[in-house]
Structure 1
């Protein structure tokens, strides 16, 4: 954008950071962290950012590493989470990519299921007043725009199975092992 063009919408700052589960795409607006995406290899980033720009009507900016403004604290906290020194994210979140029942479920998950704990899909459904809504909770987890920070990896099957995960089952296993819920992989 040259100096004569006006921005179309709010600023969307984004970057890709390494993590204990591979590269993560992080995106934030002035309201807060708006998107986290697992497995953000170079082949996926342009499409992911394009979809975000379209949904938010925002202008995307990727600052040079170390020059992030909106993402400085999320980057710091995510690194601390993976090195084991952070157990609760304290970040402003931009919830525009989630609404209705899905947002209600994600807010309850974030509020009530701490680091190192898990909850069954059915139990979470009951907490939001929808007993028997385990499948709807699963759909809400799949639509989570802020995985890791709003820890949908902590939602498991009521019978003890690990359940699904948008970031892949191996990623879910690694995150649960990091939090002490599952044993660390042997190799």
Structure 2
């Protein structure tokens, strides 16, 4: 138990170090964190760290979304609400469908329900990362507002796809039905 705690402390220190490196290099920190996390996954002590999803949903996600919500221009959100809502739900569902069909066609034994489960995970963009990266690039403020608002709503639509797909995997029942 104590070694796991020490391992988490080292992991936090590594993350803080990566943030310092990102600031020194003037890079968007999500890019540096993803590359650092990928590199750490090949290091033996950190390759098998697990975290319960409930912890992510209860401890890590709310402060990130809260901070991202403060960055959104609600005036721009209201102005572009149709486009934002359309993208937030349509893009997530479309991405999940494409991932489901392609993964079930390519991976032997991979069902369509598992493909949607994977799609529900992969289609979830990170609101904080999108905001940080778009702000580093010189783009119009209205586009930044659009990306920020759309990524926040994606955080609502993607878990819905994920939960339906998880229910399909657990129950073993999954059907595509056309609307009458």
Whichever structure has more strand as a proportion of its residues is 1
Q: Same fold (TM over 0.5)?
A: no
Whichever structure has more helix as a proportion of its residues is 2
User: Higher RCO, 1 or 2 (CA under 8 Å, sep at least 6)?
Assistant: 2
So what's the TM-score if we normalise by structure 2?
0.26
So what's the TM-score if we normalise by structure 1?
0.26
Structure number with larger C-alpha Rg: 2
